[in-house]
């Protein structure tokens, strides 16, 4: 799609950025000590911390990625919302208060609170850096996706912009400014998402999404020997066809513009599709023409609207339940992607598929877990849900927020505020995603843009506000991740592992330098991973966190035979197995330009293997080293 920037959008965007920078300047002047820099002095009120938790956690993956996935795959995208929220239960009931009691600045403090082990420090620092960087990639990709429509700038500019602003926020005032940036962003995100949902539900469900929506043409085909020879409109000339895997795509030409169509063999009907064709000389054509001729349309609409068994043109003024019920009873047009080579042209096509609403609101459109799915498909799904459930309570940037409040009771209360705010937002994602799916706003090239484009259907102001908040969303989350990384480097690695015993002031300097380094790495990776769905990428970060960190946290709390060497080995095994299996997964093989089927590990998410492996390694190594290395006395929580 082609995006053009509006002055209003640019104005609101820079207002939000100015507000964020103002907060950083204000707190930057007050933050001098390491405790102030890494843990906001432990003085944040639990209610502010709770919303800041939400601001930290509701990242680009939640807002852009999940809404996009729901818009393209319905309920399967919502499964991410469910899993992300469920993980907070582990954080609240098991981890929050003990972690607060045991730690100071980083989660490595907690892991190492009974051992004073350099091995634990080193591996916890490495784990924090790896998880944070995996989590940073989707945030930066999301930032790049946003600035294109918002400011009319290329993807890489957005990535550099976020990297620069966030590094500035973190290096000026550390956790204090980060907390208030996240609080502000969390509040704005939830309020404006709620307003957007009210607008979506109030608008209702209609056959025609808008007056300007492109009406996709259908033609009757004449077939001979299974091949299309002519079509009902003689102004179109048949140029060729591509038949494979049950699909029959036909290339037609009219007025010297070539376009691709999808043939329904049963009815001999050709339906206009969207296509991006790369010619042999590298020229890229969007529906047969250069991009700036605007022949590549935004999509997403109802096929039939049914209310209480009767077909209608549309229905307005719905409520939260009836909106879902109408979609469930109706039929939706989705655009399915396929890629093939035709002569010396590389064709990417999006063809229409009419999908019953009940299938949209049930599992199976993205995760192949229905009848006919393979064992690996089902394991892939279970693996993802496992990683989401156990990942939250092991994310370093979430864990460090337990040290910004005064007491364990405050840690608990702030987690509950976070669960309420995040849970409410995740319910909103269902409406925003479905709203985008049926409002004719989808950019098939970028699922991440679904929520901002949905907002655009309510006017430029709404688009500008939502996009600016989405950008602030990225800023808030990236800030938290960079604080976590800088704490791992300055506090865990340099101060404790290397034993440099930095002064308070030097530790803050080291933290700031580490923040700059992490920011640069995040920028480079954000550019490299352009185009991947950000919710999927965050799912990988969860898998690494759940594999590397959670087994150690849980076993330290509940198993008295846990040893320092057991924890070190478990974190090491978790990191290596999770990252290794991700690199050998089908999705990454496609990223390398290879066949997905050639991937040695059949699952996209490693959690189902790497989490149990990490537990097993901890138990075995602890038992082997028990007499020499065991924690003195009792486990931290139980007997």
Between residue 22 and residue 41, which ones bind other proteins under the rule CB under 8 A? 30-33, 35-36, 39-41
Q: Which of 218, 202, 306, 314 is nearest to 261 (CA)?
A: 218
Give the binding range for other proteins (CB under 8 A) out of 109-117, 275-283, 297-305, 469-477: 109-117
* Closer residue to other proteins, CB minimum distance, 496 or 622: 496
Alpha-carbon distance of 469 to 463, in angstroms, equals 10
Minimum CB separation of residue 303 from other proteins in Å reads 18
User: Under rule CB under 8 A, which residues in 620-639 are in contact with other proteins?
Assistant: 637-638
189: which 2 tokens?
Answer: 């995100």
CA pair distance 519, 164, nearest whole angstrom = 7
CA distance 259 to 263: 13
Site for other proteins in 434-493 (CB under 8 A): none
Ranges within 383-442 binding other proteins (CB under 8 A):
385, 389, 403, 406-409, 412-413, 415-416, 419-420, 423, 426-427, 430
Helices (H) and strands (E) in the chain, counts: 24, 14
Residue (103 or 149) nearer to other proteins, CB: 103
Specify the stretch interacting with other proteins by CB under 8 A; choose among 78-86, 264-272, 276-284, 579-587: 78-86
Closest distance of CB 233 from other proteins, Å = 39
Q: Using CB under 8 A, pick the residue from 72, 88, 471, 497 that binds other proteins.
A: 88
Site for other proteins in 323-342 (CB under 8 A): 324-325, 328-329
Among 55, 65, 68, 103, binds other proteins (CB under 8 A): 103
| CB-nearer residue toward other proteins: 41 or 65 | 41
Angle between helices 534-548 and 118-151 (to 10 degrees): 170
Q: Which is nearer to other proteins, 429 or 467 (CB)?
A: 429
CB of 284 to other proteins, least distance (A): 39
d(C-alpha 441, C-alpha 423), whole Å: 26
With CB under 8 A as the contact rule, which of the stretches 92-100, 222-230, 245-253, 599-607 interacts with other proteins? Answer: 92-100
Listed as own residue / partner, the contacts of 240-244 with beta carbons closer than 8 Å and 24 or more positions apart are 240/342, 240/343, 242/340, 242/342, 242/347, 244/340
Cα–Cα distance measured from residue 575 to residue 583, given in angstroms and rounded to the nearest whole number: 12
Which residue stretch of 72-80, 128-136, 251-259, 521-529 sits at the interface with other proteins (rule: CB under 8 A)? 72-80
> Is residue 433 classed as helix, strand or coil in its secondary structure?
helix
In SS3 terms, 550-570 reads as HHHHHHHHHCCCCEHHHHHHH
Helix (H, G, I), strand (E, B) or coil at 366: coil
Instruction: Rule CB under 8 A: choose which of 47, 104, 376, 588 binds other proteins.
Output: 104
Residues ≥6 apart with Cβ < 8 Å to 352: 216, 262, 271, 273, 333, 334, 335, 336
User: If binding means CB under 8 A, how many residues of this protein chain bind other proteins?
Assistant: 76
Within residues 289-328, the interface with other proteins by CB under 8 A covers 321-322, 324-325, 328
Which residue, among 119, 12, 100, 7, has the nearest Cα to 625 in the 3D structure? 119
Considering only 331, 338, 495, 604, the residue that binds other proteins (CB under 8 A) is 495
- Token reading at 29: 């002047």
Options 8, 82, 133, 336; binder of other proteins; rule CB under 8 A: 82
Q: How far is the CB of 120 from other proteins (least distance, A)?
A: 11
Q: Does 69 bind other proteins (CB under 8 A)?
A: no
Q: Kindly indicate which of the ranges 88-96, 142-150, 472-480, 592-600 contains the residues binding other proteins, using the contact rule CB under 8 A.
A: 88-96
Is residue 533 within 8 A of residue 68, CB to CB? The reply is yes
Listing DSSP states for 163-185 in one string gives HHHHHHHHHHHHHHHHHHHHHHH
Please list every residue from 144 through 203 that binds other proteins, using CB under 8 A: 176
Contact indicator for 28, 173 with CB cutoff of 8 Å: yes
Instruction: Answer for the pair 108, 128: CB distance below 8 angstroms, yes or no.
Output: yes
Q: Structure tokens of 612?
A: 């149990």
Q: Are 22 and 160 in contact (CB under 8 A)?
A: no
267 versus 503: smaller Cβ distance to other proteins: 503
Residue 57's closest CA among 555, 520, 549, 395? 395
Shorter beta-carbon distance to other proteins: residue 55 or 519: 55
Candidates 5-13, 495-503, 522-530, 612-620; binding stretch for other proteins (CB under 8 A): 495-503
**Nearest distance, CB of residue 43 and other proteins, angstroms:** 7
Pick from 78, 249, 351, 589 the residue near other proteins by CB under 8 A. Answer: 78
Nearest approach in angstroms of CB 388 to other proteins is 10
Q: Of 362, 460, 587, 625, which one interacts with other proteins (CB under 8 A)?
A: 362
- Interacting residues with other proteins between 570 and 599 (CB under 8 A): none
For other proteins, the binding residue among 12, 90, 196, 494 (CB under 8 A) is 90
What is the phi-psi region of residue 530: left when phi exceeds 0, alpha when psi lies from -120 to 50, beta otherwise? beta
The single residue among 343, 370, 505, 598 that binds other proteins, judged by CB under 8 A, is 370
Choosing from 304, 345, 359, 445, the residue that interacts with other proteins (CB under 8 A) is 359
């Amino acid at each position: 799609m082609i995006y053009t920037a509006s002055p209003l959008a640019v104005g609101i965007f820079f207002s939000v950025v100015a507000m964020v920078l103002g907060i950083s300047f204000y707190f930057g002047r007050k933050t001098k000590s390491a405790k102030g820099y890494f843990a906001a002095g432990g003085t944040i009120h639990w209610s502010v911390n709770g919303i800041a938790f939400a601001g930290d956690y509701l990242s680009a993956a939640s807002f852009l990625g999940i809404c996009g996935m729901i818009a393209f795959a319905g309920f399967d995208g919502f499964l991410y919302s469910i899993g992300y929220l469920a993980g907070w239960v582990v954080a609240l009931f098991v981890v929050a208060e003990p972690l607060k009691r045991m730690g100071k600045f980083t989660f490595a403090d907690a892991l190492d609170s009974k051992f004073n082990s350099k091995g634990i420090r080193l591996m916890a620092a490495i784990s924090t850096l790896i998880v944070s960087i995996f989590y940073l990639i989707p945030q930066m990709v999301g930032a790049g996706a946003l600035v294109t429509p918002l400011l009319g700038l290329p993807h890489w500019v957005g990535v550099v912009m976020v990297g620069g602003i966030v590094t500035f926020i973190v290096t000026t005032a550390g956790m204090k400014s980060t907390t208030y940036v996240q609080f502000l962003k969390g509040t704005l995100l939830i309020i404006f998402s709620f307003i957007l949902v009210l607008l979506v539900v109030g608008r209702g469900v209609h056959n025609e999404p808008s007056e300007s929506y492109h009406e996709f043409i259908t033609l009757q085909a004449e077939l001979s020997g299974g091949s299309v020879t002519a079509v009902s409109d003689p102004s179109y000339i048949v140029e060729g066809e591509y038949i494979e895997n049950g699909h029959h795509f036909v290339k037609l030409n009219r007025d010297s513009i070539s376009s691709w169509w999808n043939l329904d063999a049963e009815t001999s009907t050709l339906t206009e599709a969207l296509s991006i064709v790369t010619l042999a000389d590298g020229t890229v054509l969007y529906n047969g023409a250069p991009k700036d001729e605007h022949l590549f349309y935004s999509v997403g609409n109802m096929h039939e609207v049914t209310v209480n068994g009767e077909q209608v043109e549309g229905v307005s003024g719905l409520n939260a339940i009836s909106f879902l019920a109408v979609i469930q009873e109706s039929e939706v047009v989705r655009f399915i992607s396929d890629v093939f080579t035709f002569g010396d042209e590389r064709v990417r096509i999006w063809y229409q598929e009419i999908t019953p609403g009940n299938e949209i609101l049930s599992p199976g459109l993205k995760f192949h877990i229905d009848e006919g799915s393979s064992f690996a498909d089902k394991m892939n799904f279970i693996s993802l849900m496992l990683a989401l459930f156990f990942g939250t309570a092991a994310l370093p940037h979430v864990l460090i927020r337990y040290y910004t409040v005064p007491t364990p009771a405050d840690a608990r209360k702030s987690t509950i505020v976070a669960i309420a705010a995040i849970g409410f937002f995740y319910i909103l994602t269902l409406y925003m995603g479905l709203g985008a799916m049926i409002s004719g706003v989808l950019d098939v090239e970028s699922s991440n843009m679904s929520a901002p484009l949905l907002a655009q259907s309510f006017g430029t102001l709404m688009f500008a506000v939502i996009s600016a908040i989405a950008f602030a969303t990225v800023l808030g989350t990236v800030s938290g991740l960079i604080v976590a990384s800088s704490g791992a480097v300055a506090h865990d690695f340099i101060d404790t592992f290397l034993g440099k015993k930095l002064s308070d002031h030097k530790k803050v300097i080291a933290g700031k330098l580490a923040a700059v380094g992490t920011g640069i790495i995040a920028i480079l990776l954000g550019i490299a991973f352009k185009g991947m769905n950000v919710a999927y990428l965050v799912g990988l970060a969860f898998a690494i966190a759940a594999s590397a960190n959670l087994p150690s946290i849980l076993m330290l709390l509940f198993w008295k035979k846990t040893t320092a060497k057991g924890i070190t080995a478990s974190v090491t095994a978790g990191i290596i197995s999770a990252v290794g299996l991700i690199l050998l997964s089908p999705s990454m093989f496609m990223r390398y330009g290879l066949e997905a089927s050639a991937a040695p590990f059949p699952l996209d998410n490693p959690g189902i293997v790497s989490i149990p492996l990490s537990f097993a390694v901890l138990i075995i190594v602890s038992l082997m080293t028990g007499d020499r290395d065991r924690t003195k006395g009792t486990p931290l929580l139980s007997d």
